[in-house]
Amino acid sequence: MKKSIRDFDLNGKKVIIRVDFNVPIKDGIIQDDNRIVMSLKTIKFAREKGAKIILLSHLGRIKEESDKEKNTLKPVRDRLSELLNYDVIFSNVTHGKELEDKVNSLKDGDILLVENTRYEDLDGKKESKCDEDLGKYWASLGDIFINDAFGTCHRVHASNVGIASNLPNGIGFLVEEELNNFKVLDNPNRPYTVILGGAKVSDKIGVIESLARTCDYILIGGGMAYTFLNALGYNVGSSLLDIESKDFCIDILKKYKDKIILPVDSIVSKELGSDIKLKNNNEFSPDDIGLDIGDKTIEEFKKIINKSKTIVWNGPLGYFEIDKYSKGTKEILDTLSKLDITVIIGGGDTASAATNFGYKDKFTHISTGGGASLELLEGKELPGIEVIDEI
Ligand code: AMP
C-alpha cells in the first residue's frame, strides 16, 4: 500500500503538494473549478495539521514566452482564496529568490501557490522532461512531498516524479480516491461497457486494444468514430479523420466486430456552427462534417447501456461545446444518470460536460484525470504513483 498524507506528522513541516489546477480558463475566467474543489480536502487537512503548504501545478502548455500570460495560475489563486476564505500567497516565479523568500517566511497553516510549473518548459522543457536538477531544487524547498495531482500521474515530470525521488513522500486524498474508484474495474459486474468519444483515435489506441479484450461492448462516438467508419469503407465527408490510425481501426474492427458498436447516423454541418442535418452513414456529402451522433445511434447506444452493469466513459460523443451538437452527449448522460449501476466518467471534457449539463453528482465517480484514467484502464502502472513509497 502506498504511503498517504495521513502517515506523516505535518506540524510545522514544509509540505509540497502537487495539485492539478489545470482548469479551463477563458479571458481570465475559470470555466470549471472542479479540479480546484477536488483538491481542497488534502489542502485543508494539511492546514489543520499545521503544515506550511507549498502548492505546485501546471496549467496548459508553455511553448513560447507569449503563452505565459494566458496560462498564469493567478486566477486559480483568486478562486482558491475564495474557496478557502484565506488569502493564498502567490509566487510569480518558479525558481529563485522571490520563491525562496516566500517559502522561508511561511507560518504554520500558510499556503503558497507557485506559478505554473510549465514556465520551466521555456528553458529546455525542464518540467516536462523531468530535469533532475529542477526536481532536486523544488524538493529542497520542502520537507515532505504529497502527490495529489491524479491528472498528471501518467507523466514523468519534475514536479511529480522529480520531487518525489528526492523527499519523503505520499499520496493525497484525491489520488487515493481515484485509485480506489478504478479498482472496481479489476473485477467489473457484467456486462461491462466502455463508451469512447472525443477527437483523436491515436490517443486512445492503447486503451481500445486492451479494453476490447476485457470489456463486453465498446460504444464509439465523437470525432474518433469517423476514422472507424472510414475504415469500414464509408465516405465520411469532411469529418475528423485520423488517417494514420486507419489500419489500426481496420484490424481492431476485424478482431472485435461483435463488441465494437459504431454510429449508424450523425448530425452534420457544412461548417462548424452552421445549419444541421441528420444523415445516415451512407449519405455524407464531401463537405459534410459529422459533429454529433444521430438519433438512431443514441437509441442503439441506450439499448446496450440499459443492459450493462458497469460503464466507463471517456470522451464526449459530439462537439458538445456547441449546443446543436450536444444532444448525443446529453442524452447518454441522462440515461446513465437514471441507472443504479457503476458509472465511471473520465477525461477533462467528459467530466466538464457532466458537470455543465447538471449531472455532477449522479455517477459513481467522475475522474479528474483524462490520460491518467485511460492508462489505468489500459492496466498500466502510473509513474507518478509508482515512485511513491510503500508503507
Ligand atoms: P479528446 O481530447 O480526444 O477527448 O477530445 C475532446 C474534444 O473532442 C471535445 O472538445 C469535443 O468537442 C471534440 N469532439 C467530439 N466530437 C467531435 C466531432 N464529431 N468532431 C470534432 N470534434 C469533436
pLDDT in tens, 297-335: 999 999 999 999 999 999 999 999 999 999 999 999 999
Residue 206 C-alpha to ligand 1 middle, in angstroms? 18
Answer yes or no: is pLDDT of 55 > 90: yes
Domains with residue ranges and CATH for the chain: 5-174 (3.40.50.1260), 187-377 (3.40.50.1260)
Backbone φ and ψ of 195, nearest 5°: -110, 125
Atom of ligand 1 nearest to the CA of 291: 19
pLDDT digits (tens, 9 = 90+) for 150-172: 999 999 999 999 999 999 999 99
Range in 30-34, 36-40, 175-179, 383-387 the model is least confident about: 30-34
The Cα-based distances of 111 to 8, 14, 59 in angstroms read 18, 10, 19
- In this predicted structure, the answer to whether residue 348 has a pLDDT above a threshold of 90 is no
Averaged confidence pLDDT in the chain: 96
Please check the confidence at residue 34 and state whether its pLDDT lies above 90: no
Ligand 1 centre from 289 Cα, in Å? 12
pLDDT recorded at residue 324 = 98
Q: Region 170-180: what's the mean pLDDT?
A: 96
Instruction: Give the span between the Cα atoms of 235 and 282, in whole angstroms.
Output: 7
> Taking the model in full, what pTM does it have?
0.87
What is the Cα–Cα distance from 282 to 294, expressed in whole angstroms?
13
| Residue list, ligand 1 pocket, CB within 6 Å | 197-200, 203, 222-223, 240, 290-291, 315-316, 318-321, 347, 349
Counting from 1 in the atom list of ligand 1, the atom nearest the Cα of 370 is 4
Beta-strand relationship, 14-18 and 144-147: parallel
pLDDT digits (tens, 9 = 90+) for 239-290: 999 999 999 999 999 999 999 999 999 999 999 999 999 999 999 999 999 9
Given a contact cutoff of 8 angstroms between Cβ atoms, the answer to whether 54 and 17 are in contact is: yes
Q: Cell 466513459 appears where?
A: 313
Distance 142 CA to ligand 1 centre (A): 40
Atom of ligand 1 nearest to the CA of 221: 16
Is 150 within 8 Å of 17 (Cβ atoms)? no
- Nearest atom (ligand 1) to Cα of 266: 19
Q: For ligand 1, atom 20, which residue shows the shortest CA distance?
A: 223
* Mean pLDDT on 92-110: 98
Atom 17 in ligand 1: residue holding the nearest Cα: 223
Helix or strand holding residue 314 (H, E): strand 310-314
For 129, phi and psi rounded to 5 degrees? -100, 10
The residues that are catalytic are 35, 200, 348, 371
Tell me how far apart the terminal alpha carbons of the chain are, to the nearest angstrom.
6
Ligand 1 center from residue 223 Cα (angstroms): 6
Chain mean position to CA 213:
23
Secondary structure (3-state) at 71: coil
pLDDT, residue 254, reads: 96
pLDDT category at 369 given cuts 50, 70, 90 is confident
Q: What is the pLDDT of residue 377?
A: 87
Which of 229, 349, 352, 374, when mutated, tests ligand 1's pocket best, judged by the most ligand atoms within 8 Å of its CB? 349
Q: Is the Cβ–Cβ distance between 344 and 311 less than 8 Å?
A: yes
Substitution site in 224, 319, 320 for ligand 1 pocket (most atoms within 8 Å of beta carbon): 319
What letters, b where the CB count within 10 A reaches 16 and e where it falls short, cover 175-212? bbbbbebbeebeebeebbbbbbbbbebebbbebbeebb
Atom of ligand 1 nearest to the CA of 314: 4
Given a cut of 90, whether residue 64 has pLDDT beyond it is yes
Question: What's residue 379's pLDDT?
Answer: 84
For ligand 1, atom 14: residue with the closest CA = 319
Distance 369 CA to ligand 1 centre (A): 16
Distance CA 141, CA 226 (A): 49
Measured by CA distance, the residue closest to atom 4 of ligand 1 is: 198
- What is the rounded CA–CA span in Å between residue 316 and residue 292? 9
Which one-letter amino acid corresponds to residue 113? L
Distance of alpha carbon 15 from alpha carbon 4, whole angstroms? 13
| Distance of alpha carbon 289 from alpha carbon 6, whole angstroms | 51
- Residue 192 near residue 310 (C-beta atoms within 8 A): yes
The 8-class DSSP code of residue 162 comes to: I
DSSP letter, residue 34? H
Give the model's pLDDT for residue 368.
Answer: 85
Segment 358-376 mean pLDDT = 91
Supply the pLDDT for residue 16.
Answer: 98
Residue whose CA is closest, atom 11 of ligand 1? 319
Q: Considering only residues 383 and 351, tell me which one the structure prediction assigns the higher pLDDT.
A: 383
Q: Quote the percentage of the chain above a pLDDT of 90.
A: 89
Ligand 1 centroid vs 114 CA: distance in angstroms? 31
The pLDDT value recorded for residue 201 is 87
Query: Residue 8 — φ and ψ, nearest 5°?
Result: -120, 150
Cα–Cα dist 216/256, whole Å: 10
- Ligand 1 center from residue 51 Cα (angstroms): 41
pLDDT in tens, 184-242: 998 999 999 999 999 988 888 888 999 999 999 999 999 999 999 999 999 999 999 99
Position with higher pLDDT, 349 vs 325: 325
